[in-house]
Amino acid sequence: MVVVLIIFALAVFVLPNVWAKWVLKRHTRGRDDYPGTGAELADHLLRRLGIEGASVERTEYGDHYDPETRCVRLSPDNYDGRSLTAVTVAAHEVGHAIQHHQGYAPLLARSRLVGVAQKAEKLGAVLMMAAPFLFLLTRLPGGLAIVIAMAVISFGTAALVHLVTLPVEFDASFNRALPLLKEYVPPYDMPGARHVLTACAFTYVAASLASVMNLGRWLVILRR
């Protein structure tokens, strides 16, 4: 039983990330037939779609869209790269900029929840480590259960953020980026673009499952 659980955990947490990295690397070959880099495509799309105030920057902290600064940030390989991976990832991040520009409710909800979740997750970790000591100090009936319940609530906030993230990422990929890419990427490259978008989405699915499983683990502890 333990071996089965370990294999399941590896399948959930490791394989999606390994597969995503393999797919992204597979399509990083430079393409002379592409008219521009990932950054150039992102900048072009932002201007073409009339998303004022948005910009494109190089980053060392992973590809993402920052709603606070209205900035599409791309890793060096995707910023300067002239490959299927570079333009696909760039289009995906522009998809988030489109969501923001149009007031897409799940993106706005995620943006509000992220800051709360980060603080709540830190609080939850502190409470879980301090729970036995707090119980000894208070000696209140059910004191330990109360502390653990507070920690579970904090971890639950993180799980909620991950669950809200899923529709945001899938919408940015398949409802926003994919239709745009059809106008710029040759038809024979579209299956590869879809694979890149799918691989990226699977990493978020894995993170969501991990978060929910972590919450479930503490719920089991609380029931005891």
What pLDDT, on a 0 to 100 scale, did the predictor assign at position 19? Answer: 81
Stated pTM of the model: 0.80
Tens digits of residue pLDDT in 39-62: 999 999 999 999 999 999 999 998
Task: Name the E strands within the chain.
Answer: 55-58, 64-66, 71-74
Number of helices (H), then strands (E), belonging to the chain: the values are 9, 3
Tens digits of residue pLDDT in 200-224: 777 777 666 666 666 666 666 555 5
Does the pLDDT of residue 12 top 80, yes or no?
Answer: no
Does the pLDDT of residue 180 top 80, yes or no?
Answer: yes
Total domain count, the chain: 1
Tens digits of residue pLDDT in 86-145: 999 999 999 999 999 999 999 998 888 777 766 766 776 676 676 666 666 556 556 666
Domain hosting residue 72, numbered range: 1-223
User: Given 52, 57, 68, 93, which residue is catalytic?
Assistant: 93
Inter-CA distances, 192 with 34, 58, 63, 129, 189, Å: 15, 24, 19, 46, 5
Read off the tokens for 183: 């106008």
Judge whether 93 counts as a catalytic residue: yes
Read off the tokens for 1: 């039983």
